[in-house]
Amino acid sequence: MHRLIFILLLINSPSVAQSVSTRLGARAAGMGNAAFTLTDPSSLFHNVASLGFLTDPSVFFSYEILPALPGADRRAAAVNWPLSFGTLAAGAFRFGDDLYSEQFLTAGFSHRIDHTALGIKTNFLQYRADGFGPQTALTIDVAGLTQLTPAWTIGAGIFNVGQAGLTPEDPLPVVFVAATSWKSPEGAMLVAEAEKQLDMPLQVKAGLEVTLFKKMFARAGIGTNPLILSGGVGAKTTRLQFDFASSYQSVLGLSYQASATYRIQKNKKS
């Protein structure tokens, strides 16, 4: 059963240079995972360039479960730290159980000049399967983000730009992403994203976020290839933010994801 689950995930999750999607964050999940132009503490798992727009250090956690697929849970954590010369971030991701698992350690850097930021990220991947030795790979992602106006933002990037693989005969996916978003003065946001993995159908995603009572949010999203329908809610204070999302995928069924963020207060002298 677990190997069948892995095969389904391999076929239907072409988001990054791994077999399963490493794009985690309940805010993004509630918007159909059209998250490439979002600037929040989950950016390390979406668009590393977005880190350049963060102003406060933060810690991010996320966990996703698929009730119909035991052993297919995903979890991730990241630390983001803006400095005078750019923003540094480090994180970890894990999928699976003792029978089969995928995990990676990642580190990213983004530098912002005015309304544009460029970022680079390196990922150390490890695959483990019961009865087989671990396999590893090192991949690099690059991305950019530009705020054209206070309302319009565009972004683009490439996952696994160096075309790394587990072996020369077993390459990992190369993925191209282009995205845009629009934000109204009242705080509503529309996002759209196109994602293309070589030899796989084009994925198109779109999402909406609306602000409720200044500190609460409602979200909805849709995606293609495979069909994804999602929705979510969120709430935040000055330092804490909690988000929850539920998604339906035409192959894997329902999933539930929760995220928490803690923003660390900057030293006033820095």
CA-CA distances (angstroms) from residue 59 to 78, 86, 91, 240?
6, 17, 10, 10
pTM (2 decimals)? Answer: 0.89
In this model, does residue 128 exceed pLDDT 60?
A: yes
Residue 21 contacts residue 104 (beta carbons within 8 Å) = no
pLDDT band with cut points at 50, 70 and 90 for residue 267: low
In this model, does residue 164 exceed pLDDT 80?
A: yes
For residue 18, give both structure tokens.
């791994």
In single-letter form, the type of residue at position 147 comes to: Q
Position 186 scores a pLDDT of 86
SS3 letters across 170-223: EECCCEEEEEEEEECCCCCEEEEEEEEECCCCCEEEEEEEEEECCCEEEEEEEE
In single-letter form, the type of residue at position 196 comes to: K
In this model, does residue 177 exceed pLDDT 70?
A: yes
Say which residue, 256 or 19, is predicted with more confidence: 256
* Domains of the chain with CATH codes: 2-6+13-262 (2.40.160.40)
Give kind and range of the element (H or E) at residue 10: helix 2-12
